[in-house]
Structure 1
Amino acid sequence: MDSIWKKMNHNPEKLAFSGHIQTEAAVIGGGMAGILTAFFLQEAGVKTILLEAGHIGEGQTGNTTAKITAQHGLLFDGLTASQGAQRAALYAKANQAGVEEYRRLVKQMDITCDWQDTFSCVYSTRDRELMEKEALAAAALGLPAEFITETELPFAVEGGVRLENCACFSPLDFLYALAETLTIYENSEVKKVEEKVITTAGGEVTAEHIIFAGHFPFLNKPGYYFARMYQERSYCLALSGAGSMKGMYYGVEEEDFSFRGLSHKGRELVLMGGCNHRTGGNEGGRYDRLRAASRRFWPECAEAAAWSAQDCMTLDGIPYIGRYSSQTPEWYVATGFGKWGMSHSMVSALLLTDLITGKENPYEELFTPARLGWNGAVNLAKQAGCSLKGFMGKRNATAGEYLEDLEPGEGHLVEYGKGKIGAYRDEEGSLHLVTARCPHLGCELTWNPDEKSWDCPCHGSRFDYEGRVLDGPAQEGIGLVWES
């Protein structure tokens, strides 16, 4: 399923990398974080190339709802309590600066990208006091925030926190405009990185500075990011016939939704998202829930697009931006953006550019990947427990434990010899059998019925029903055992 942005945009394919070259900086990953980092490095006079495994913007940047804001859900009351007011204020200031930098680039480069200056609002349908506390915490950090009880949403809320000076846009229009100024190689998957040498199928790049901006770092060590993050999936609809919406909204209860408007070439759409779950934990019905809710809110609405996204979640809710590890001082990383990739991408690009060019940056210590702390240690243990559970898998195969039990359109783990395999019967009745273990670290995969994919509950790798990689950190597909 393609996002509304992918339906609206097409970018000419760029050449794949081949040969052997030297450069000052090499960025791995052609999403918003990678493109922005390459752009600012080039602006700073650093010779930079970018390597993208597929096509630029086709990953998480192409699946975002593209909200640019420092209000990242129900955040500032908890962040102040866990990190202290000073660090919470730095987080807010860094992301507010990111909004302004996007605004500056759009104006300076005259980029046509459906840019809209607007406000964001986190809301609760149940808990007024929770929202009042969040409004006080945000205002105490110097943010232009206020508590409200009235919104333009098609239902009542107990309270919300409205934050001014935010924006939204069409992300691929913006990304493609910046990409025109850069040296980019597509279809150039990085196979390995050793010291200053990046190896692709087409050749090698030697770089003084290497930036990992490909969503989830594919190298297990150093850094051990697979042990310090997990991934979540969320689902989105683009709706016509739902009127227009001026602001951007994010609900704090599990059953609540996020919303934003999109005005494109005279067409008004509402983007509605939600139904989140940890990757590997979808038993189905996520799109159905979204569609049912959209019909309750707007009975006459029609679906223009439906898609999903995957987000990297850190142990303390703050991204990892900075030096990759103490063992690799010339490697850098930007990952763990949660559900707020647009603002964090800009924060990453500005921070990494300063690190590489030797400038001081006031946010370096806040975002450093070297941090852990007590809360991080506790969450690390929880993450290890989830990974162990995923590795062990279920004692028995799930519902369809025999191939003959599979109905068209169904997928399950099934008994096969002394183990299990993944089996999917397509709508025409053909069987697709794959190995049931993730090649990343061997965890048992689960079937995602909404997206017809095999998902890893440990670290979030995903594969289509024929075994091809959809999402990392896995670099290899799962084996196709048999196909009828």
Structure 2
Amino acid sequence: MTNLTNGASMPLWLDTASVPRFPPLTTDKQTDVCVIGAGIAGMTAAYLLAREGRQVLLIDAMGIGAGETGRTTAHFFPPDEWYAGVEEGFGEKGARQVAASFAGAIDLVEAIIRTENIDCGFERLDGYLYALPGDGFKDFDKEVAAAVRAGVDAEKLDKVPGLSFGTGSCVRYRNQAQFHPVKYLAGLAHAIVRLGGEIHGGTQALDVSGDPIMQTVRTQWSSIRAQAVVVATNTPFNNRMVMHTKQAAYRTYAVALRVPRGAVPRILLWDTGDPYYYVRLETPDAAAQHEYLIVGGADHKVGEDDHPEHRYDEIERWVRQRFPMAQQVEYRWSGEVMEPADGPAYLGRNPMDDDNVYIITGDSGNGMTHATIGAMVITDMLMGRDNPWAALYDPSRKVKHGLTDFMKEQADTLVRYADWARHGEAEFVEEIPPGEGRIMQMGSGKLAVYRDEQGGLHALDATCTHLGCVVHWNGGEKSWDCPCHGSRFGTDGQVLHGPAATPLLAVAVEQPGMPAPDAGRDQPPRPDAH
């Protein structure tokens, strides 16, 4: 049976939806299009292509919604850079394209839900951006002007209406949306199968190779020959270097608290603080007397907080200061977002590859929107149609806007290779508490050692199998996370999140309390190692 999620925490979405389970693919296959990834990007692409009459085969290492789609807050809202930032970097034309693509994504999701009769709580809502005194961005006149020029229905208000606390001035963006993401994926799965598509869980893609005529996707069980491949795995595992120098991986956190039904207005809310927070509501069912107030934020670079549980407490404290009607916490979870160097996602042909391999990555906190846009762009490409947004989201574009942040991210990644020169976090395994992991020095190599709740030891080579960084412990999700490019591994070494495609190497423990003396690597790999 495949995993239901890629971490120890249980998101509200995965706990309140039933998804169809599909068996692993154990025989070789040939198809028109192989889609890798059963999140919203891959499932939407598979659906649209199947609807066009293409033969589609979709695989996922775990199962439907088990990756980052099941760990989102599932809202459709303006881009993280806001329209003033997009206009500054890409001009008025670029801002209009972003606005049109964002609106088009919401319209498509709504149309699919109507056509396929998917019960997923889709709802059109107004969204609000606000800034408390002293917190961040305040030039809302500039933002409204840029949004209106881009064709967005936006206006400045004195405050966000209906809240229990004063927000000061804000921007209202009309006609945004939210839904239950896993219920949506379940509906897409049924539709894909009805349209003749094929889905397989528990099937990890290990590599993609081929030529402009035919690609081969190799899995742990079989091979798939396809005329085209869509890599929709949050970050592409098939791209060794190029894309991973153009985006950075962040962990983000969410808390769902009960509130009395009707106590909080049905809106989307985002502030400009540092850290920033974003808010939405979820209603369990029509008869429920309570709702879930979902608040996300407290982001940090992957691998930079070994014990991030305090971030849930920070979010809860923020909520209780502003929403006194909030009751008990029902869910706490975290997810991973990929931040592009210059703002827009990367959607289209994979750089430095054959023309028939496509990627969807760079969600930047707008995963539901960008994933849907990516599926639309790639479907048009595969069907030989022009797409008005393809150039804007082209993964091959050069970074021109946001160069300062881009260079800072690259420098931070290079610094992480200095972890090889640092001593381990524990000298003896007896220092590792049950349920915790530590990096241990062994000769010139490093081990990632986890002690389970029963006291058993699980030792792994601590070298990320992507580009050789030393992994860090994530106590919140019980995983080993790479601070360089965002790969994540389970305590058994299995890949939970790319770009790594190969598990961490398990290392034998020779005697109780001591790892084998020859464990680990003799020399650290170079940052450019393959």
**SS at 2:139 equivalent:** helix
Do 1:422 and 1:435's aligned partners in 2 also have CA atoms closer than 8 Å?
Answer: yes
Which range moved further: 166-175 or 418-427?
A: 418-427
The TM-score with structure 1 as length reference comes to: 0.93
What is the CA–CA distance in structure 2 between the aligned matches of 1:315 and 1:326, rounded to whole Å? Answer: 19
Letter in 1 for 2:209: E
Cα distance, 1:108 vs. partner?
A: 2.3
Do 1:439 and 1:474's aligned partners in 2 also have CA atoms closer than 8 Å?
Answer: yes
Query: 2:134 matched to 1:115?
Result: no
**SS at 1:30 equivalent:** coil
Query: 2:484 matched to 1:458?
Result: yes
The TM-score with structure 2 as length reference comes to: 0.85
Aligned pairs (5 A) from 1:2-401: 2-69=10-77, 71-125=78-132, 126=135, 129-151=138-160, 152-182=162-192, 183-195=198-210, 196-221=215-240, 224-241=242-259, 243-265=263-285, 266-267=287-288, 268-283=291-306, 284=308, 285-296=310-321, 297-298=323-324, 301-375=327-401, 381-393=407-419, 395-397=421-423, 400-401=426-427
Give the direction of change, closer, same or farther, for the CA distance of 1:378–1:371 in structure 2 (3 Å limit): farther
What is the CA–CA distance in structure 2 between the aligned matches of 1:427 and 1:149, rounded to whole Å? Answer: 53
In structure 1, the gaps of 5 or more residues are none
Cα distance, 1:472 vs. partner?
A: 1.3
Give the direction of change, closer, same or farther, for the CA distance of 1:174–1:300 in structure 2 (3 Å limit): closer
Deviations 1:201-248, CA, capped at 9 Å, x for gaps: 332221111111111111234x72222221111111111136344111
Do 1:31 and 1:59's aligned partners in 2 also have CA atoms closer than 8 Å?
Answer: yes
Deviations 1:2-35, CA, capped at 9 Å, x for gaps: 1111111122311221323322111111111111
Give me the CA root mean square deviation: 2.2
Do 1:230 and 1:313's aligned partners in 2 also have CA atoms closer than 8 Å?
Answer: yes
Do 1:128 and 1:158's aligned partners in 2 also have CA atoms closer than 8 Å?
Answer: no
Do 1:127 and 1:158's aligned partners in 2 also have CA atoms closer than 8 Å?
Answer: no
What is the CA–CA distance in structure 1 between the aligned matches of 2:178 and 2:97, rounded to whole Å? Answer: 22
Cα distance, 1:404 vs. partner?
A: 4.1
What is the CA–CA distance in structure 2 between the aligned matches of 1:431 and 1:290, rounded to whole Å? Answer: 33
Letter in 2 for 1:190: A
What is the CA–CA distance in structure 2 between the aligned matches of 1:215 and 1:78, rounded to whole Å? Answer: 24
Cα distance, 1:396 vs. partner?
A: 3.0
**SS at 1:143 equivalent:** coil
**SS at 2:392 equivalent:** helix
Letter in 2 for 1:477: P
Do 2:267 and 2:281's aligned partners in 1 also have CA atoms closer than 8 Å?
Answer: yes
**SS at 2:148 equivalent:** helix
What is the CA–CA distance in structure 2 between the aligned matches of 1:300 and 1:57, rounded to whole Å? Answer: 28
Give the direction of change, closer, same or farther, for the CA distance of 1:49–1:464 in structure 2 (3 Å limit): closer
Which residue of 1 is the match for residue 468 of structure 2? 442
Structure number having the greater strand percentage: 1
Question: How many aligned residue pairs are there?
Answer: 482
**SS at 1:289 equivalent:** helix
Do 1:294 and 1:301's aligned partners in 2 also have CA atoms closer than 8 Å?
Answer: no
Do 2:342 and 2:403's aligned partners in 1 also have CA atoms closer than 8 Å?
Answer: no
Cα distance, 1:186 vs. partner?
A: 1.4
Letter in 2 for 1:141: A
Cα distance, 1:431 vs. partner?
A: 4.1
Letter in 2 for 1:184: I
Do 1:73 and 1:252's aligned partners in 2 also have CA atoms closer than 8 Å?
Answer: no
Cα distance, 1:405 vs. partner?
A: 3.8
Letter in 1 for 2:297: G
**SS at 2:356 equivalent:** strand
Do 1:245 and 1:260's aligned partners in 2 also have CA atoms closer than 8 Å?
Answer: no
Which range moved further: 443-452 or 165-174?
A: 443-452
In structure 2, the gaps of 5 or more residues are 1-8, 193-197, 513-530
